[in-house]
């Protein structure tokens, strides 16, 4: 399919973000859907928090839109604007993918966490039995926490700049997965099998050295960052220098693509 050709037949997916300059997932989504034979394009749209409700309302009337992705900072605020949520999105309390039904109804799902687990498995990383330190309790962090518990992590420790959000998330995951020990804790890598950065720190090349003490990383740890741009955040560079196995943000994105396709009904 000619990648430059966008017509009235083309199925459009939006990706609402603020800022929008860091967004690279649209290319991966477009390439994946086109490779599957769909006349499809995913378009990044810069929408600030005050305009989110208007953008969601407009989406209801865009008949050639199959839906929209949502990313920073909209994953949680978008919840009450939708008509329906999947069970998963409701439990997680955050949405990253919206399907527009032909009647204009909007259904929210969240495939961040499931995509992370799938991406890790595709890279040969088995999450079951791992002690995991999760940095971040925002929209993506919430999704990852639920998916890690479902994947059978041996223990999950959540650390967030706003500790109340970490505590609320630990309670919610613990209530849904009572067999998984979940607690809040400090950003200290010591003793963990896996460290995941699910914050936006490190995005656009920003200094992420205060996220945790990189000196405490050791070669037996798996280190993941959900940030896609740059590909190698400071955390991942430090992890590679220590000989750790690393997982890139792109691998989590790739893990989500088939899940998004199925959810959008393509």
Binding-site ranges for ligand ATR (CB under 6 A): 71-73, 75-76, 136-141, 160-162, 165, 199-201
Q: Residue 119, CB half-sphere, CA atoms under 13 Å: how many?
A: 25
Q: Which CB, 41 or 227, lies closer to ligand ATR?
A: 227
Of 9, 32, 25, residue with least CA distance to 261: 32
Task: Check if 206 is active-site.
Answer: no
The SS3 of residue 205 is: helix
Residue nearest to ligand ATR (CB): 138
Report the distance separating Cα 253 and Cα 94, nearest Å.
17
Token pair for residue 34? 């086109």
Min dist CB 73 to ligand ATR, Å, is 4
Q: Which CB, 151 or 158, lies closer to ligand ATR?
A: 158
Provide the 10 A C-beta neighbour count for residue 30. Answer: 17
Beta strands 182-184; 155-159: pairing state:
parallel
Dihedral sign of CA atoms 110, 74, 70, 56 in order: positive
Task: Name the CA radius of gyration of the chain, rounded.
Answer: 18
Min dist CB 129 to ligand ATR, Å, is 26
Q: Which CB, 17 or 41, lies closer to ligand ATR?
A: 17
Q: Which CB, 40 or 116, lies closer to ligand ATR?
A: 116
Tracing tokens 């009235």 back to the chain, one arrives at: 8
225 close to 248: Cβ distance less than 8 angstroms: yes
Of 120, 133, 126, 180, residue with least CA distance to 160: 133
Q: Which CB, 165 or 242, lies closer to ligand ATR?
A: 165
213 close to 189: Cβ distance less than 8 angstroms: yes
155 close to 185: Cβ distance less than 8 angstroms: no
> Which among 11, 75, 165, 206 is annotated as catalytic?
75
Residues belonging to the active site: 75
């Amino acid at each position: 399919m000619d990648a430059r050709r966008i017509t009235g037949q083309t199925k459009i997916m939006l990706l609402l973000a603020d800022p929008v300059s860091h967004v690279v997932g649209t290319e991966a989504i477009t390439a994946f859907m086109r490779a599957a034979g769909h006349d499809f394009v995913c378009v990044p749209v810069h929408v600030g928090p005050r305009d989110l409700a208007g953008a969601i309302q407009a989406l209801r009337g865009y008949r050639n839109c199959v839906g929209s992705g949502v990313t920073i900072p909209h994953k949680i605020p978008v919840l009450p604007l939708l008509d329906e949520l999947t069970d998963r999105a409701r439990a997680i309390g955050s949405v990253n993918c919206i399907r527009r039904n032909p009647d204009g109804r909007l259904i929210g799902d969240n495939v961040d966490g499931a995509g992370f687990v799938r991406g890790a498995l595709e890279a040969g990383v088995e999450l079951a039995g791992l002690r995991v330190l999760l940095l971040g309790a925002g929209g993506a962090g919430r999704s990852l926490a639920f998916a890690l518990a479902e994947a059978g992590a041996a223990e999950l420790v959540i650390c967030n700049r706003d500790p109340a959000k970490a505590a609320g998330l630990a309670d919610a995951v613990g209530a849904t997965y009572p067999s998984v020990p979940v607690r809040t804790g400090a950003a200290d890598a010591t003793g963990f099998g896996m460290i995941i950065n699910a914050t936006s720190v490190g995005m656009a090349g920003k200094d992420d050295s205060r996220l945790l003490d990189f000196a405490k990383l050791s070669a037996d740890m798996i280190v993941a960052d959900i940030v896609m741009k740059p590909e190698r955040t400071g955390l991942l560079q430090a992890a590679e220098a220590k000989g750790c196995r690393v997982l890139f943000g792109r691998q989590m994105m790739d893990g989500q693509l088939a899940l998004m396709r199925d959810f959008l009904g393509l």
